[in-house]
């Protein structure tokens, strides 16, 4: 099924610390996931992706971990900076019978970076 947002979880992190944002998914057939960052007043922007044949993928200061057994993925941000303050979404692009994709977004987590 698709996640329904009842509230927006908030994670408060001290500047310089590492942040971990979690996402649970329900579709066992999902084989590709993307993390998006949405800053205030802007649309979501691509951060990093991971395919189901991988457990871990690293980018610049960000790492995504995928645990297919428990249908869970996480986004780790190293040395969190004020510019990281945003709402973070995991997304599951699902193929459709028409050959296009239907992007399903998770509930989202608001990251607040404390000075």
Where along the sequence are the contacts to other proteins (CB under 8 A)? 4-8, 32, 34, 36, 38, 41-46, 49, 87, 89, 91, 93, 95-96, 98-105, 107-108, 110
Rounded CA separation 66/101 (Å): 21
Q: Which is nearer to other proteins, 10 or 14 (CB)?
A: 10
Which residue number, 80 or 109, has a Cβ lying nearer to other proteins?
Answer: 109
Phi/psi for 20 (5° steps) reads -130, 120
CB of 106 to other proteins, least distance (A): 9
Q: How far apart are CA 53 and CA 19, in angstroms?
A: 24
């Amino acid at each position: 099924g698709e996640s329904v947002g009842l509230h927006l979880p908030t994670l408060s992190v001290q500047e310089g610390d590492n942040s971990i944002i979690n996402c649970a998914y329900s579709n066992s057939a999902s084989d590709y996931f993307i993390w998006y960052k949405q800053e205030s007043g802007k649309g979501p922007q691509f951060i990093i992706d991971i395919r189901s044949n991988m457990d871990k993928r690293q980018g610049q200061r960000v790492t995504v971990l995928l645990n297919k057994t428990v249908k869970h993925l996480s986004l780790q941000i190293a040395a969190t900076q004020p510019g990281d303050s945003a709402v973070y979404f995991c997304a599951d692009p699902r193929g459709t019978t028409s050959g296009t994709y239907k992007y399903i977004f998770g509930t989202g987590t608001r990251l607040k970076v404390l000075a």
